[in-house]
Amino acid sequence: MAPASICFVLVLLAISLSVLVTGVASASSSSPGQSTTPNINGSDTDLAALLAFKDQLSDPLGVLARSWTTNVSFCRWKGVSCSQPQQRVTALSLTSVPLQGELSPHLGNLSFLMQLDLTNTSLSGTIPANLGTLHRLRELSLPANGLSGSIPGSIGNLSQLNLLDLGYNTLSSQILPEVLQQLPNLQILFLNNNELSGQIPPYLFNNTPSLRYISLGSNRLSGPIPQGLSSLPLLEYLDLHLNQLSGTVPATMFNMSLLQVMSLGQNNLTGSIPSNRSFSLPVLQELYLPKNNFAGEIPLALSACRQLQILSLAFNSFFGTIPTWLAQLPQLRSITMGTNHLVGSIPAVLSNLTSLVLLDLAFCNLTGDIPTELGLMRKLSYLHLGSNQLAEAIPEGITLMQNLGYLDVSGNNMSGPIPTQIGMMKSLQRLNLYQNKLFGSIPNSIGNLTKLEYLVVFNNNLNSTIPASLFHLDKLLELYLSNNYFSGALPADVSGLKQVDQIEISSNILIGEIPNSFGQLRMLAQLDLSHNSFEGTIPDSFQELINLASLNISSNNLSGTIPKFLANFTSLTTLNLSFNKLEGKIPEGGIFSNITLTSLIGNAGLCGSPRLGFSPCLEKADSTDRHLLKFLLPAATVAFISIVLCVYLMIKRKLKNKSAHPSVADPSDVMSHRLLSYHELVRATDNFSDHNLLGSGSFGKVYKGQLNTSLVVAIKVLDMQLEQAIRSFDAECRVLHMARHRNLIKILNTCSNLDIRILVLEYMSNGSLDTLLHAEGRRHLGFLKRLDIMLDVSMAMEYLHHEHHEVVLHCDLKPTNVLFDDDMTAHVADFGIAKLLLGDDNSMITATMPGTLGYMAPEYGSLGKASRKSDVFSYGIMLLEVFTGKRPTDPLFDGELSIRQWVHQAFPSELASVLDGQLLLEASSTSNLNGSLLPIFEMGLLCSSDSPDQRMSMSNVVAKLKKIKKDYTRTTSTTMQSAAQ
């Protein structure tokens, strides 16, 4: 919600001033026959009331202690104004003075009080009912405090009240009708940003004809909008946003001659906006209707609102095209229409809106190109056209927008190069071009964007070398260049990125050595250079990156040893060095204490770390040893060959005598590709006894077992009576053998013949996500851990959908298939019905095996059609389950109600009603948590949309979750630092 208009602020100040002036004048003047002698008793009463007020406050800065002293008349105390000559208190105003404490009921004894303003004074407790005795009171301002409880009905006795401001507190309960029904002079009413609930009483405003400003936004009010609001003849400002209001908006509300601001966003309102004679808002300046369920076309009647400055219609179900008549509203400064069902192209005539500062048309179905005429909108600072179907190239004319700070055209079908003159956009702070088909190089002029903080161009077809000028942007915080075709070497000097926090340049064709200058990026927390062709050693300068939390340099041609200093990084939680040419001893301690084979596999020269299956390191021999070896090695070789021959003859003779026995491969090397013997697996599971049973699935059972090497594993035995089980075995072997990701279950070995099919998998000691969420006596699972779990799952699915050389569909994603290792890292399991998807993003395959009820996408359950978007649906349902604590098969969801509909009804303002109880306690004590829950539930709803086209991609899910986590972590850190200070 944007700030109130300037005229509103001026009127508010004028009213406050008039209250003081009028109050003092009326108190000091006397009617005929009235005595002007000071009222000693009255003054004593006021003094006692003020002292009682002071006594209940802690006054940490000593403001009252210094000023409110008995040797000075209380009329000279700070914040106190008196009438003349009676010396009675007419105003008490201590705005922004930290008082800390509760309001004294004795304030009700200040019988001449006309203004009580204690804005932002850290007050707590309830509002005393005694304030209802202040019959002369014109202004009651108690906003921005910690007041709780209900609004006392006695406020309705203040018949002279002009201004009532109780906003930004924690007031709760319902609004009593008597609070307003006896306030005929009330002009300004602010009850916003509280916890008020229940319906707005239908006759609340029947006796308040003077009301000009009403703000009830950011509460928990429900039910319909009262018809009586539209009968207020002087109403100029109406704010009801961020509540749970439902139903249609009374048509008469669109026929208010003085209304300047209407804010109804983030409710559950439905219907359409009238476009006939019943619509007449001639002086309307700001219209906020986002995040509701409004439908219909954008009404032509709005074209008559010639003073309209802000139009916000985003996150609704409006359809049709973008109206060209918008260009006839010359004062428009902001248009947000994103996330609607709009079609067609972007009208070039919008360029006539020369005062426009913000334009958001993202997440619609817009087609065509970006009109080059938009470059004429010189005041535009925010342009979001992402996630549409825009094609063609980004017009060079857009570089004329000298004030543009945010440009997002991501998630479209745009091709062509990045505009060569992009360096002219000197105000640009965020540039999002990812997930398009852009080609060519990054222009060298990019180095002129000295204010740039975010550059995101991953998933395009960009090529050539990365310009050195890019690494001179000293304000840059995040750089994402992954999944392009950048070639050549990185510039030797990348040290200009002094504030950079994240760099991702993976999946390109870069060569050469990793520049030593990376060590000068002291703020760097995440570095991903994987899937390139870098060579040489890991730079020694990396030891300066003490803030590094994630380092991925896998799938390159790096050689040499693993630097020991990596074990000393206390912030490092993710390290991937796999598939290089590294050799020598694996360091110990730090990140290497819990490192998995996934992070080191593909480096044949490494040794040490027996728990991962690497060979012990051999000590280097000295010169004397080498001299002896010249004589010993030949003799040892001859002896060894002799022993091998003897053993071979013995085994051959024994096999001949016991031909019925199956051949036995060496089972001690679990990581080898040789098959384990069936007999060892029988022994490892105590003959597949029930006490080792971990679970049963569609195709067989899974047992816990301990091999001869003492390694504990999970042994999956498939039911060979099922034909699909054989196909499952082949599919699972293929996927798990080829897929390498820290969040996927690893296959360690197999055992198969004509009669059995067995998979030996990595053992997950901490059970499944389903158990973690729903088992009796479950452990506490906080917000951040739940976020990390779903981030792990999303990264595994992103890998299968977008990074694996073949697209892999899971087809049965659910909490029972998310398992946890010793470190509580999540691993996606059970690829029993995984499918390999051929063709482009939109191709689908027919599944031969349905998924699980409650998690299946509609098109998969009814037609058996599987695609990446069907996995996304399952992920969305699981995301809702993780944060609500409810299975989609919970008895609550019967008939027409599903978990998605349940959450959607509560979204966005009633999320507390669907939140898992554990998180509800956490949210009540952590203010910054609430801001993170909203985008998470929004993502869950998007991912589980009935229409596949409306669902996000897993890549977008990963990026969104990372941002949520980063924002939450930073906010929490800032809060803790502030608290510590």
Q: Which residues are catalytic?
A: 812
CB 377 within 8 A of CB 352: no
CB 226 within 8 A of CB 249: no
- Rounded Cα distance between 142 and 147, Å, is 8
Cα dihedral 863→869→874→878 (10° resolution)? -160
Give me the phi and psi of 860, to 5 degrees please.
-80, -40
Measured distance CA(814)–CA(812) in Å, rounded: 6
Calculated CA dihedral for residues 108, 110, 116, 119, nearest 10 degrees = -70
Among residues 86, 57, 80, 56, the alpha carbon closest in space to that of 68 is found at: 80
Question: How far, in Å, are 186, 233, 380, 500, 523 from residue 307 at the CA level?
Answer: 27, 20, 19, 43, 47
CA distances from 599 to 33, 284, 603, 740, 804 (A): 95, 60, 10, 9, 16
* DSSP secondary structure letters along 535-578: EEPPPGGGGG-TT--EEE--SSEEEEPPPGGGGG-SS--EEE--
Token pair recorded at residue 762: 């990595």
Q: Which of 795, 787, 698 is nearest to 744 (CA)?
A: 795
- Give the other-Cβ count within 10 Å of 455's Cβ: 22
Burial-class residue 475 by CB neighbours within 10 Å (0-12, 13-18, 19+). Answer: middle
User: Which own/partner pairs from 105-109 qualify as long-range (CB within 8 Å, at least 24 positions apart)?
Assistant: 105/129, 105/130, 106/48, 106/49, 106/52, 106/53, 106/130, 107/49, 107/53, 107/131, 107/134, 108/49, 108/132, 108/133, 108/134, 109/45, 109/46, 109/48, 109/49, 109/133
Token pair of 461 as six digits: 């077809």
Helix (H, G, I), strand (E, B) or coil at 185: coil
Helix and strand numbers, DSSP H then E, in the chain: 14, 53
Contact criterion met (CB below 8 Å) for 307 and 286: no
| Residue 326 to residue 308: CA distance in whole angstroms | 10
803 and 780 Cβ atoms separated by less than 8 Å: no
CA gap 365, 306 in Å, rounded:
28
Q: List Cβ neighbours of 19 (8 Å cut-off, separation of 6 or more).
A: 91, 114, 115, 138, 139, 162, 163
> SS in 3 state form for 454-505?
EEECCCCEEEECCCHHHHHCCCCCEEECCCCEEEEECCCCCCCCCCCCEEEC
Q: Which amino acid does the sequence have at 809?
A: L
- Token readout for 22 is 């009028």
Residues 726 and 686: their CA atoms lie apart, in Å, by 25
